[in-house]
Amino acid sequence: VHEETGLVFEAGDPESLAAQLVRAKTEPQLAVGLAENGRQAVIRDFDIMRTIEQAERYVLD
């Protein structure tokens, strides 16, 4: 999610990508927040038990 777990840029637009990279480099608090939020999202969304449950539901439905 933009500015929560990452920064979004327009596909095929290198200037947009560069602008977001500059933001991450020049706004250290933003970069730290993105990293921590991203870590928490991975822990929350990619837990092994949750993944197994989702796979079971997919197979059984």
Q: pLDDT class for 1, splitting at 50, 70, 90?
A: confident
Residue 32 lies inside a defined structural domain of this protein:
yes
Instruction: Give the domain range for residue 41.
Output: 14-60
Read off the pLDDT of residues 8-57 as tens digits, 9 standing for 90 and up.
999 999 999 999 999 999 999 999 999 999 999 999 888 999 999 999 99
Considering the entire predicted model, what is its pTM?
A: 0.72
The angle at the Cα of 17, spanning 14 to 22, to the nearest 5 degrees, equals 125
Task: Confirm whether 9 is domain-assigned.
Answer: no
Does residue 61 surpass a pLDDT of 90? no
Is residue 1 a part of any domain in this protein? no
Query: How many C-beta neighbours within 10 Å does residue 42 have?
Result: 11
3, part of any domain: no
Is residue 6, in this structure, part of any structural domain at all?
no
Q: How many domains does the chain have?
A: 1
